[in-house]
Amino acid sequence: MWFIYFVMTEEKKSLNFIEHIIEEDLENGMNTSNLRFRFPPEPNGYLHIGHTKAIGISFGLGLKYNAPVNLRFDDTNPAKEEQEYVDAIKEDITWLGYTWDRECYSSDYFQQLYDWTVQLIKEDKAYVDSQTAEAIAEQKGTTTEPGTNSPYRDRSVVENLDLFERMKNGEFDEGAHVVRAKIDMADPNMLMRDPLMYRILKKSHHRTGDEWCIYPMYDWTHGESDYIENISHSLCSLEFKPHRKLYDWFLDQVYSEHIRPKQREFARLNLSYTIMSKRKLLKLVEEGIVKGWDDPRMPTISGLRRRGYTPASIRKFVETVGVAKRENVIDVSLLEFCVREDLNKIAPRVMAVMNPVKLVITNYPEGQEEWLEAENNPEDDSAGSRKVPFSRELYIEKEDFKEEASRKFFRLTLGKEVRLKNAYIIKGESVVKDDEGNITEIHCTYDPESRSGSGTEASKRNVKGTLHWVSIAHAVPAEIRVYDRLFNDEAPAGHKDKDFMEFLNPESLKIITGYVEPSLKEVQPLEQFQFQRLGYFNVDPDSSDNLLVFNKTVGLRDTWAKAKPVQSQNNNNKPAQNQQREVRAIEEVKRAGKKYTNLPEEKRAVLKNKIIEAAKKVEIEELIPLYNTAAKKVGTRIATTIALGIVLETKNMEPDELAIAFIQKGIEDGNELLQTEAKEIAKKYSIN
């Protein structure tokens, strides 16, 4: 039944605007065999999460239309490009699960571009300008005033050809001359005002060596490379939309009989709490803020891979974000949600203790040990089980014990019982403290008849708390690197009067020594696990036979969904001392959900109106993590459903695959209030 449902959903899935363009081209006579796409990175840094959208769009279209996709390196600036970046980009794309048809380089076309430039000079459509860069920029004019012609614009064809050849032969210093297209210095689009085509760069190229000392500019190279490679649709981000007119003008000069590329633009992927500039990411590397491009705090694909993100989670994230024409900022919690959801399905469960305190089971025989059965992954029936050792002395988390605790503390305290995961029920009896009053040991007793899975009446006894643990005699020490967001501001590059480095999070990395169960002794780099009750972790490549190293990928739940501080209105812009905390709209929805089902009908109607008003300020990405709310938290699911209906309506959106699945679950739920809200959305959007 579910398989049929999801197939139907996929068939009904609406086309994005790029797919509409392609479908229209096919309807107008383009042959499917002529479709060819490309992903054209510049090898001047490592790919980051922002690039995954462009990768996903181009390679996704290739898969959808069974069309080839080229990987082309736009390597026209030897001052910034390196083979290291080429290799890293290829590795990242392969890791994401995509395969390219042809591996191409703009440098392969240097001779052709040079020959075309010579032809343009002969046709008096290009010339050599000998002004300084500053003079050229000043003559460009403004958006309201036309530019002025270069004094060298009317050089003769003979002189231009001579100078261009001598530029190629290395007779001039950098900056002495450039080649410009001769278009229109009064064009409303400033990019059309005699744009640069070539400059002198006496730098060794990572592929062509010292063969060339003049290099083509991006605008001249890009469209012509697309043309040479028979690219049908040249897809790029929105900042290139003003370049489209120039892209087409350059194509007009060389177009004859090949497929003519069509440039179309989509919104970039912007992520909160994240820097997307390769130049700024390079600064973090060069200044030692991070330990290389693959530092797990970096938003690079290699950094995400090292941190434990999966290809499936990143691809799901890109798919969920979708293809848009308008720029927006996606909450990083959506990316974390996607990896959390994927790892929940595939990551084996193991036990680790990160902040240990010794626990002694006083009535357990000294010197005895037993190996208990532990399930590897309750989400995967085929994952099987493993044996974990149990003994008299264990490590548990310090946070899991309080000498004195309230009734709402469901972990270990004196006089109360909890269950040790996969093991026995224990009862807190006493503590041992050092001279400063710190607890060094917790003494407990256990019920020998209460072993998990034994089938005894004692084993079925219901206790509220369950703790993870590690046997001290068998514990394996490990270095555990706990990562947090690299920046503590949602838009670190969005402050005109401040440097993005001011927003670095000093707590972005904590290194601790913890203990893990012995089944992890033979793990391999990048293997992923759920440390039960702690989060998802993976094995860092720094691990050795002598020391295991784990990276925290993500917690079991989003801990960043907190209120934002209200800034004071004084001149120094510092937070007020007694500041109130502004509640995010999504938090209002969550809070309302917690009490929704406990209210009488009149008060529930008032609360529903509050949810509706809050939902008008909510983005769809903020709701997605709530789709997987536990079934027992029906109030939150109701509030999420109400909010979803409002978000879809106010933003004029259609429900995507995730939303449809959530609505379907609501219809099938046993709670009538949830059913009613879900059915209302289903009726409006014709969801069966």
What is residue 570's predicted lDDT score, i.e. its pLDDT? Answer: 38
Query: Under a CB-based contact definition with an 8 Å cutoff, are residues 110 and 146 in contact?
Result: no
What is residue 561's predicted lDDT score, i.e. its pLDDT? Answer: 56
Instruction: Using the structure block, give the residue that is written with the tokens 């609406």.
Output: 14
Instruction: Please state which of the four CATH numbers 1.10.3720.10, 3.30.365.10, 2.40.240.10, 2.160.10.10 is assigned to the domain occupying 352-467.
Output: 2.40.240.10
Name the percent of the chain lying above pLDDT 70.
Answer: 94
Q: Which two tokens stand for residue 131?
A: 């002004």
Instruction: Using the structure block, give the residue that is written with the tokens 């005002």.
Output: 193
**pLDDT-wise least confident of 384-388, 449-453, 535-539, 629-633:** 629-633
State the CB neighbour count (10 A cutoff) for residue 224. Answer: 24
Q: Is the pLDDT of residue 622 over 90?
A: no
What is residue 632's predicted lDDT score, i.e. its pLDDT? Answer: 81
Residues 6+ apart with CB under 8 A from 435: none
Convert the pLDDT of each residue in 660-671 to its tens digit.
889 988 898 989
What is residue 653's predicted lDDT score, i.e. its pLDDT? Answer: 80
Q: Is the pLDDT of residue 575 over 50?
A: no
Q: Which two tokens stand for residue 229?
A: 């490679």
Query: Under a CB-based contact definition with an 8 Å cutoff, are residues 41 and 8 in contact?
Result: no
What is residue 640's predicted lDDT score, i.e. its pLDDT? Answer: 93
Q: Is the pLDDT of residue 110 over 60?
A: yes
Q: 624 or 85: which carries more pLDDT confidence? A: 85
Convert the pLDDT of each residue in 623-657 to its tens digit.
888 888 888 889 999 999 999 999 888 877 878 77
Q: Find the mean pLDDT for residues 364-377.
A: 95
| DSSP letter, residue 367 | T
Treating both helix axes as pointing N-terminal to C-terminal, what angle do 110-122 and 218-228 enclose, rounded to 10 degrees? 110
What is residue 580's predicted lDDT score, i.e. its pLDDT? Answer: 35
Convert the pLDDT of each residue in 234-262 to its tens digit.
999 999 999 999 999 999 999 887 789 99
What is residue 571's predicted lDDT score, i.e. its pLDDT? Answer: 39
| Annotation: binding site for ATP | 42-44, 268-269, 276-278
Q: Which two tokens stand for residue 636?
A: 């939150």
| Interatomic CA distance for residues 482 and 463, integer angstroms | 31
Residue 237: beta bridge partners? 266
Convert the pLDDT of each residue in 334-350 to its tens digit.
999 999 999 999 999 99
Q: Is the pLDDT of residue 277 over 60?
A: yes
| Interatomic CA distance for residues 519 and 388, integer angstroms | 7
Q: Find the mean pLDDT for residues 454-462.
A: 91
Q: 325 or 106: which carries more pLDDT confidence? A: 106
What is residue 621's predicted lDDT score, i.e. its pLDDT? Answer: 80
Q: Domain boundaries in the chain?
A: 17-108+222-270, 109-218, 278-347+480-558, 352-467, 585-685
One-letter amino acid at 360 equals: V
What is residue 5's predicted lDDT score, i.e. its pLDDT? Answer: 35
| DSSP letter, residue 431 | E
What is residue 392's predicted lDDT score, i.e. its pLDDT? Answer: 97
| Interatomic CA distance for residues 636 and 623, integer angstroms | 11
Q: Is the pLDDT of residue 179 over 90?
A: yes
Q: Is the pLDDT of residue 593 over 60?
A: yes
What is residue 574's predicted lDDT score, i.e. its pLDDT? Answer: 39
Strands ordered across the beta sheet of 69-73: 37-39, 69-73, 103-105
Class of 17-108+222-270 per CATH?
Answer: alpha beta
Query: Under a CB-based contact definition with an 8 Å cutoff, are residues 513 and 479 in contact?
Result: yes
Task: Write b or e for each residue in 241-276: b if 16 or more Cβ atoms lie within 10 A of its Cβ, otherwise e.
Answer: eebbbbbebbbebbeeeebbbbbbbbbbbbbbbbbb
Query: Nearest to residue 625, comparing CAs of 615, 636, 634?
Result: 636
Q: Is the pLDDT of residue 563 over 50?
A: no
| Annotation: binding site | 42-44, 74, 218, 268-269, 276-278
| Interatomic CA distance for residues 9 and 17, integer angstroms | 19
State the CB neighbour count (10 A cutoff) for residue 578. Answer: 6
Residues 6+ apart with CB under 8 A from 290: 284, 297, 298, 486
Q: What is the 3-state secondary structure (H, E, C) of 496-564?
A: CCCCHHHHECCCCEEEEEEEECHHHCCCCCCCEEEECCCEEEEECCCCCCCCEEEEEEECCCCCCCCCE
**Active site members:** 42, 268, 278
Domain 109-218 superfamily per CATH: Glutamyl-tRNA Synthetase; Domain 3 (3.90.800.10)
Per-residue pLDDT band at 181 (split at 50, 70, 90): very high
Name the percent of the chain lying above pLDDT 90.
Answer: 76
Q: Find the mean pLDDT for residues 8-32.
A: 81
Query: Under a CB-based contact definition with an 8 Å cutoff, are residues 227 and 260 in contact?
Result: yes
Domain 278-347+480-558 superfamily per CATH: Glutamyl-trna Synthetase; Domain 2 (1.10.1160.10)
| Annotation: binding site for L-glutamine | 74, 218
Instruction: Using the structure block, give the residue that is written with the tokens 């190293």.
Output: 549
Q: How far is C-alpha 199 from the chain's CA centre? A: 36
| Percentages (nearest 5) of helix, strand, coil residues in the chain | 40, 20, 40
| Interatomic CA distance for residues 471 and 365, integer angstroms | 14
Query: Under a CB-based contact definition with an 8 Å cutoff, are residues 598 and 632 in contact?
Result: no
Query: Nearest to residue 56, comparing CAs of 340, 343, 312, 231?
Result: 312
Beta strand 69-73 with 37-39 is: parallel
Q: What is residue 472's three-state secondary structure?
A: helix
Mean pLDDT estimate for the chain: 91
State the CB neighbour count (10 A cutoff) for residue 503. Answer: 19
Q: How far is C-alpha 587 from the chain's CA centre? A: 23
Query: Under a CB-based contact definition with an 8 Å cutoff, are residues 557 and 333 in contact?
Result: no
Instruction: Using the structure block, give the residue that is written with the tokens 């080229």.
Output: 70
Per-residue pLDDT band at 120 (split at 50, 70, 90): very high
Beta strand 564-565 with 581-582 is: antiparallel
